[in-house]
A and B are shown apart, each in its own frame.
Chain A
Amino acid sequence: MRARPLILTLAHRLAILAYILFALFPLFWLLKVSLTPNDLLYSEGVRMWPSRTSFDHFRFVIAHSDFPLFFRNSLIVAGSTALVVTAVASLSGYALSRFAFRAKYWIVALMLLTQMFPLVMLVAPIFRLLSPLGLTNSLTGLVIVYSAFNVPFATFLMQSFFDGIPKDLEEAAKIDGATQFMAFRQIILPLTLPGIAATVGFVFTAAWSELLFALMLISGNEAATFPVGLLSFVSKFSVDFGQMMAAGVLALIPACIFFFLIQRYLVQGLTAGAVKG
Chain B
Amino acid sequence: MASIDIRDIHKSYGKIEVLHGVDLTIRDGEFIVLVGPSGCGKSTLLRMIAGLEEVTGGDILIAEKRVNDLAPKDRDIAMVFQSYALYPHMSVAQNMSYSLRLRKTPRERVASAVSAAASKLGLDPFLERRPKALSGGQRQRVAMGRAIVRQPKAFLFDEPLSNLDARLREQMRAEIKKLHGELGATSIYVTHDQIEAMTLADRIVAMHGGVVQQVGSPLDLYDRPANLFVAGFIGSPGMNFIEARYQPGEGSPAARLADGTLVALPHAYALEPDTPVTLGIRPEHVVIGGEGREAAVELIEPTGFGTILHLALHGLPFKVFTTDRKVLNAGNAATISFPPQHLHLFDQEGARVGAV
Flag whether B229 is at the interface (Cβ < 8 A): no
Pairwise interchain contact B85-A273, C-beta atoms closer than 8 A: no
Residue in B72, B88, B130 whose beta carbon sits within 8 Å of that of A174 in the complex? B72
Flag whether B114 is at the interface (Cβ < 8 A): no
Pairwise interchain contact A273-B132, C-beta atoms closer than 8 A: yes
Residues of B within 8 A of A273 (CB): 86, 88, 130-134, 139
Interface residues of A in 145-197 (CB under 8 A from B): 166, 168-169, 171-179, 182, 187, 190-191
Interface residues of B in 119-159 (CB under 8 A from A): 130-134, 136, 139, 146
Residue in B78, B83, B87 whose beta carbon sits within 8 Å of that of A173 in the complex? B87
Q: Given A171-B52, A272-B132 in contact, is the A191-B88 Cβ separation under 8 Å? A: yes
Residue in A173, A175, A179, A276 whose beta carbon sits within 8 Å of that of B163 in the complex? A276
Residues of A within 8 A of B81 (CB): 168, 171-172, 275
Flag whether A219 is at the interface (Cβ < 8 A): no
Q: Which of B84, B131, B163 has the most CB of A within 10 A?
A: B84
Pairwise interchain contact B50-A276, C-beta atoms closer than 8 A: no
Interface residues of A in 228-277 (CB under 8 A from B): 270-276
Pairwise interchain contact B83-A270, C-beta atoms closer than 8 A: no
Q: Which of A166, A175, A273 has the most CB of B within 10 A?
A: A175
Pairwise interchain contact B85-A166, C-beta atoms closer than 8 A: yes
Bound complex: CA A208 to CA B133 (Å): 40
Bound complex: CA A275 to CA B160 (Å): 12
Q: Which of B50, B52, B131, B136 has the most CB of A within 10 A?
A: B52
Residues of B within 8 A of A169 (CB): 85, 87
Bound complex: CA A191 to CA B86 (Å): 12
Flag whether B15 is at the interface (Cβ < 8 A): no
Look across to chain B and name the residue whose beta carbon is closest to the beta carbon of A169: B85
Pairwise interchain contact B89-A270, C-beta atoms closer than 8 A: yes
Residues of A within 8 A of B98 (CB): 173, 176
Residues of A within 8 A of B320 (CB): none
A172 to B: closest C-beta gap in Å: 4
Pairwise interchain contact B136-A276, C-beta atoms closer than 8 A: yes
Residues of B within 8 A of A190 (CB): 89
Q: A173-B87, A176-B98, A177-B102 are in contact. List 11 more A-B contacts (CB 8 A).
A: A171-B79, A172-B146, A174-B71, A175-B52, A175-B72, A175-B73, A176-B73, A177-B103, A273-B133, A274-B86, A275-B86
